Homo-oligomer: A and B are copies of this chain.
Amino acid sequence: VKAHPAHPGTSELVGRAVQAAVSQMELPEGVFSLLFDGGHDVGRALVSNPHIHAVGFTGSRSGGRALVKLAAERPVPIPIHAEMSSINPVLMFKAALRNRHRDIADRFVAALTLGAGQFCTNPGLVLAMEGPELDAFITATAEEVERAPASVMLTESIFRSYCSGVERLGQHPQVERVFGKRSSQGLSGLPSVFSTTAEAFLSDVALQEEVFGASALVVRCESNAALRSCVDVLEGQLTISMHMDAEDHAFASTLLPSLEEKAGRLLVNGFGTGVEVSPAMVHGGPYPATSDGRSTSVGTMAIDRFLRPICYQDFPGELLPEGLG
């Protein structure tokens, strides 16, 4: 494991905990090592080293793409499992908003502001039909966001790119700020919610760019067809959530074939911020959510990223690996 230079102390604490577990489980000591550097040198050296056969990475899209390129240029290319960017769209259907807009707004803002929004599963985009139900949801959301505390972000550079992302959205001619501006303190990333039209969203792909932190864009769709068009242009995502009541099922089911092509994890009436380690978990998704949508980085299937099948044909029992003999 190569530690991120932003938090060497935290990495060391985690590293020592893993080391203790390795020794407690009587695994070979070399099964885990933790390396530090101040930039990209150690990471680059690891990805280029002929003894490395596969890489898992979490970070930015540019970082992930750079590693994929480096791995492809090796004399022996290797798979890179890079988890990069995702805005985790949330679809809110009419009946659900009419019946429980305040409850959905409460849970949406809680998911949006969790850990200053620095979760890869943070809900950064809302697609919903315009109308009084959506207006009520936006009003409730604005109230919750105003009340939400600002949290200190992980690093100054993350804070700065959050601020510039929010500024970019705020200055977009077709984007409206949903709640009053507050002054920023230190490295605290104030939560931000914006709204725009389906037409604007469809005509400017930059509105899909991830703003890492507690920022979300609500797209007001004038029709089911407009909402469907917005789904169709989505890039690959880690998660897509749908908030629906029984009346919404018929329309939701017509979107599923497209949604299944867009994300690794589809949720109903929930948010993706809680990621359980289980056999069914998929924390992955089509490009650019990850560099390889056939895998997951959380859950029991995650080990598949680092395995290769081998066929042992007509082996005498004593030469078979343990468990096959």
Contact = CB atoms under 8 A, between A and B. Distances in A.
Interface string A278-313: 001110101110011111100001001001111111
Contacts of A76: 236, 286-288
A252 B315 CA distance: 11
A312 B266 contact: yes
Contacts of A277: none
B68 A264 contact: no
A295 B76 CA distance: 16
**DSSP class of A's interface residues: helix, strand, loop or mixed?**
loop
Given A68-B72, A79-B294, A310 B270 contact: no
Quickly give the copy total for this chain: 2
Contacts of A15: none
Contacts of A296: 309
B281 A319 contact: no
A253 interface: yes
Interface string A234-261: 0010000000001001001100100010
Interface string A26-63: 00000000000000000000000000000000000000
A313 B267 contact: yes
B270 A314 contact: yes
Task: Kindly state the interface size class of chain A when it binds its partner.
Answer: 35 or more
A267 to B, nearest CB: 4
A10 B101 CA distance: 62
Nearest to A245: B316
A77 interface: yes
B265 A318 contact: no
A312 B280 CA distance: 8
A271 to B, nearest CB: 10
A224 interface: no
Given A319-B252, A319-B256, A308 B265 contact: no
A268 interface: yes
B72 A265 contact: no
A157 interface: no
Contact of A311 (B252, B256, B281): B281
Interface of A: 68-69, 72, 76-79, 236, 246, 249, 252-253, 256, 260, 263-270, 280-282, 284, 286-288, 291-296, 301, 304, 307-316, 318-319
3 nearest interchain CB pairs? Answer: A282-B311, A265-B311, A267-B313
